[in-house]
Amino acid sequence: MSGIRDPGSGIWLTPPNYALPFQFVPTNLFDSDDPTLTDIRTRVPGPKGSLPFTPEMLRERPSGDLFGWSQNAGMGWEPSAIGGREFLILSTHGGIRAADGTPVALGYHTGHWEVGVLMEAAAGVFKAAGAVPFAASCTDPCDGRSQGTTAMFDSLPFRNDAATVFRRLIRSLPTRRGVLGVATCDKGLPAMMMALASSHHLACILVPGGVTLLPERGEDTARVQTIGARFTQGEITLEHAADVGCHTCASPGGGCQFLGTAATAQVVGEALGMSLGHSALAPSGHPIWVDMARRSARALMSLEARGTPIADILTDASIQNALAVHAAFGGSMNLILHLPAIAHAAALRRPTAADWARVSRHIPRLVDALPNGPRHFATVQVFLAGGVPEVMLHLRRMGALDTRVQTVEGITLDEQLNAWESSERRVRLRQVLRERDGINPDDVIMPPETAVARGLTPTVCFPQGNLAPEGSVIKSTAIDRSVVGTDGVYRLKGPARVFLTEPAAIAAIKANRVKAGDVLVLICRGPMGAGMEETYQLTGALRYLPFGKHVAVVTDARFSGVSTGACIGHVSPEALAGGPVGRVYDDDLIEIVIDTRTLEGSLNLVGEAGMDVGADEGTRILERRTARADLAADTNLPDDTRLWAALQDVSGGAWGGSVYDVDAILRVIEAGKRLRSERGATSLRQGYGGPPEL
């Protein structure tokens, strides 16, 4: 075959009239016009030196251990140093960076773009100490890049897949003495924590990937994700959109600038004791960020030397501490999915909705950060104000923490907080925030009495009612204060506007078919319908449109950690599981009541055709109805996600962390097999056609 192709890469190019910056060369398919390519040797000298085997090793060690040393020498490790303690560095690294940091191939997002720097810094510490570091990666997608696309169908299921890959990588290096995990963002970081938590008898430490910086001018990464809706509504110009879109990710690495799922997961990882004190939300690329990786490597070697496994760090008490810190930060609702999954991986009790509600009622929100407000400070400013240990100082004074728990520093949480309170680091960073940004650190992280005086309310409420008999969730602290009554209660009674896909709902908003006072109901987007997709495109558009704060959203999907407004998600059961939300029609009357102080809430159908008949009669109306005829899973839902939805459903569902509970899954399979046998069903093999006839 002959044709036209790039002489450098050998890639065939069609059609041939493309204007490309190199000369076209007619050639044979197998030729590259470079005679040196065929100068191939079949033997080379190999590494210098010899391996430090002992007679005992050769007699007793598995062949894999011995051949592993041969592999190490082949990759260039000094043979005489091969016998050091082995540590595994796992990460979510993505993209290819040149030595100067410029891109050769892009990653999916800034959150994993620079984590290779952290890996290299940690590896250098291991090597200098005579240890042998190994490195492996499983990269992760970007929820921001996935918003409004079918990529969102893979978002939450990916977390379980990545956790499985990380666990397999850990087990596939049987000689490792400890694991250092580096991750930053929405799904890769929870997956990493799940994998480390499941390594019960290993020394493990988490290194959070930090945050990106604010642009000197422009918009943050939350607001900028709404430029399409704002442009369509005439709120911004094309030139403004192009300018702010270019500048928003002001530095090349780190998670987003708001307290979304990525930042909250970093906070929770530190609160659990899995990472060093004051490591969450560090500014990516800065020396203080690189120093964190180096200190983490030293801490891991100390944990291994003392025989302290991750199981000694992760306990029921540390889970409760994480719940308290989450409430004080006003963190993302997505941790309701992730923290139970981490607890499950650690073989601990999974926190329930009742646990979240109990903690949220007793722990005030102390942090003013995007998107909660009131002043909306960026995550890097929260870091400078003191981050997790500063919040924990307040919680300790309140008696809201168990400070006897162990941390990866090898000391108790109480000892860690004492060290933080008297540290020069604390004094200097808070001073930097004052001098460079003109911000009082106590306006970012407030004492409880100040937070209450400024009207900061608790975070998470779990409304129930005839539309959500098994519960739902709303980030009550993110409801616009101007639509909350003086009694602290948000009330809305309005007509339903029902949509079965997010694109249809967005199109309606852009076309002004959704009005103030409406209740936008988005169904068939739960695990069975769309992999429990995240719907920030929808909530973000409403936030930045003038009428948006007067519209409520009710869905069986989930929300981004940066979502704001009266947005009720996780409505259970989901529509495709027979939930009553799948019997709602346009112009049904829906009533929402959220007490932002007591965290009590309700979600009810109270009428139809504009007539208010109350919640009790609304229940009877729903009972008389059958499911909508148009309910269906998304036609683009991948089989991989359908399988995930089924497995997590029998493992406790979304309220149980959307995990894979192997014992529960096997029980269901065995029950199904027995039922098939009782009904005289043919074997599974016969059901698929059996062997071909000979």
Across 222-248, average pLDDT:
90
Across 365-391, average pLDDT:
95
- Name the pLDDT band for 475 (thresholds 50, 70, 90): confident
Are residues 592 and 615 both part of a single domain?
Answer: yes
Peptide bond into 374 cis (omega under 30): yes
Position 12 pLDDT exceeds 70: no
User: Which of 250, 276, 305 lies at the terminal end of a domain, its last residue?
Assistant: 250
Give me the residue label for tokens 């000197």.
Answer: 216
Residue 294 is assigned to a structural domain of this protein: yes
> How buried is residue 613: exposed, middle or buried, by Cβ count under 10 Å (0-12/13-18/19+)?
middle
Strand partners, 612: 607
- Name the pLDDT band for 694 (thresholds 50, 70, 90): very low
Peptide bond into 15 cis (omega under 30): yes
Backbone angles phi and psi of 624, in degrees to 5 = -75, -25
Cα(183)–Cα(90) distance, integer angstroms:
8
Residues 6+ apart with CB under 8 A from 284: 110, 114, 209, 210, 211, 212, 213, 251, 252, 253, 254
Residue 60 is assigned to a structural domain of this protein: no
Q: Are 476 and 596 in contact (CB under 8 A)?
A: yes
- Name the pLDDT band for 648 (thresholds 50, 70, 90): very high
Are residues 290 and 431 both part of a single domain?
Answer: yes
Question: Lowest mean pLDDT: which of 53-57, 327-331, 437-441, 538-542?
Answer: 538-542
- Maximum C-alpha span of the chain: 88
Sort strands 519-522 and 489-499 into parallel, antiparallel or unpaired: parallel
User: Which of 624, 653, 672 lies at the terminal end of a domain, its last residue?
Assistant: 624
Residue 302 is assigned to a structural domain of this protein: yes
Across 429-456, average pLDDT:
95
Are residues 299 and 332 both part of a single domain?
Answer: yes
Residues 6+ apart with CB under 8 A from 267: 259, 280, 281, 325, 326, 329, 331, 387, 388
Across 484-495, average pLDDT:
95
Residue 50 is assigned to a structural domain of this protein: no
- Name the pLDDT band for 73 (thresholds 50, 70, 90): very high
DSSP, res 565: S
User: Which of 426, 450, 474 lies at the terminal end of a domain, its last residue?
Assistant: 450
Cα(510)–Cα(494) distance, integer angstroms:
20
Are residues 287 and 326 both part of a single domain?
Answer: yes
- Name the pLDDT band for 21 (thresholds 50, 70, 90): low
Position 687 pLDDT exceeds 70: no
Are residues 331 and 437 both part of a single domain?
Answer: yes
Q: Are 540 and 517 in contact (CB under 8 A)?
A: no
According to the model, what pLDDT value does residue 314 have?
A: 98
Residue 352 is assigned to a structural domain of this protein: yes
Are residues 207 and 111 both part of a single domain?
Answer: yes
Are residues 261 and 221 both part of a single domain?
Answer: no
Q: What is the Cβ-side half-sphere exposure of residue 180, based on CA atoms within 13 angstroms?
A: 34
Give me the residue label for tokens 């993209």.
Answer: 95
According to the model, what pLDDT value does residue 16 have?
A: 47
Domain of 657 in residue numbering reads as 643-687
Are residues 519 and 619 both part of a single domain?
Answer: yes
Q: Are 96 and 105 in contact (CB under 8 A)?
A: yes
Position 107 pLDDT exceeds 90: yes
According to the model, what pLDDT value does residue 543 have?
A: 78
Q: Are 89 and 116 in contact (CB under 8 A)?
A: no
- Per-residue DSSP letters for 28-93? ETT--S-GGGG---S-----SS-----HHHHHHS-HHHHHHHHHHHHTT--GGGTTSPEEEEEE--
Are residues 272 and 409 both part of a single domain?
Answer: yes
Are residues 108 and 22 both part of a single domain?
Answer: no
According to the model, what pLDDT value does residue 540 have?
A: 78
Q: Are 530 and 156 in contact (CB under 8 A)?
A: no
Position 22 pLDDT exceeds 80: no
Position 234 pLDDT exceeds 60: yes
Residue 565 is assigned to a structural domain of this protein: yes
Across 344-371, average pLDDT:
94
Residue 148 is assigned to a structural domain of this protein: yes
Position 266 pLDDT exceeds 70: yes
Q: Are 173 and 134 in contact (CB under 8 A)?
A: yes
Residue 637 is assigned to a structural domain of this protein: no
117-to-290, 291, 449 alpha-carbon distances in Å: 7, 11, 41
Question: Lowest mean pLDDT: which of 391-400, 403-412, 675-684?
Answer: 675-684
Give me the residue label for tokens 């499911």.
Answer: 627
Cα(422)–Cα(415) distance, integer angstroms:
11
**Amino acid type, 87:** F
Sort strands 203-208 and 176-183 into parallel, antiparallel or unpaired: parallel
Cα(282)–Cα(41) distance, integer angstroms:
49
- Name the pLDDT band for 226 (thresholds 50, 70, 90): confident
Position 395 pLDDT exceeds 90: yes
Question: Lowest mean pLDDT: which of 176-190, 312-326, 447-461, 679-693?
Answer: 679-693
Position 242 pLDDT exceeds 80: yes
Q: What is the 3-state secondary structure (H, E, C) of 106-127?
A: CCCCHHHHCHHHHHHHHHHHHH
Across 648-673, average pLDDT:
96
616-to-472, 587, 619, 620, 621 alpha-carbon distances in Å: 19, 18, 5, 7, 9
Position 562 pLDDT exceeds 80: no
Number of domains in the chain: 5
Mean pLDDT of the chain: 92
Position 255 pLDDT exceeds 50: yes
Cα(534)–Cα(144) distance, integer angstroms:
10
According to the model, what pLDDT value does residue 23 have?
A: 58
Q: pLDDT per residue over 407-435, tens digit each?
A: 999 999 999 999 999 999 999 999 999 99
Position 452 pLDDT exceeds 70: yes
- Strands of 195-313, DSSP E: 203-208
Cα(658)–Cα(655) distance, integer angstroms:
7
- Strands of 451-518, DSSP E: 460-461, 471-475, 489-499
Q: pLDDT per residue over 632-647, tens digit each?
A: 999 999 999 999 999 9
Q: Active-site positions?
A: 560
Q: pLDDT per residue over 118-132, tens digit each?
A: 999 999 999 999 999
Across 620-637, average pLDDT:
97
Peptide bond into 371 cis (omega under 30): yes
Are residues 541 and 606 both part of a single domain?
Answer: yes
According to the model, what pLDDT value does residue 565 have?
A: 80
According to the model, what pLDDT value does residue 24 have?
A: 53
Across 358-368, average pLDDT:
93
Are residues 135 and 173 both part of a single domain?
Answer: yes
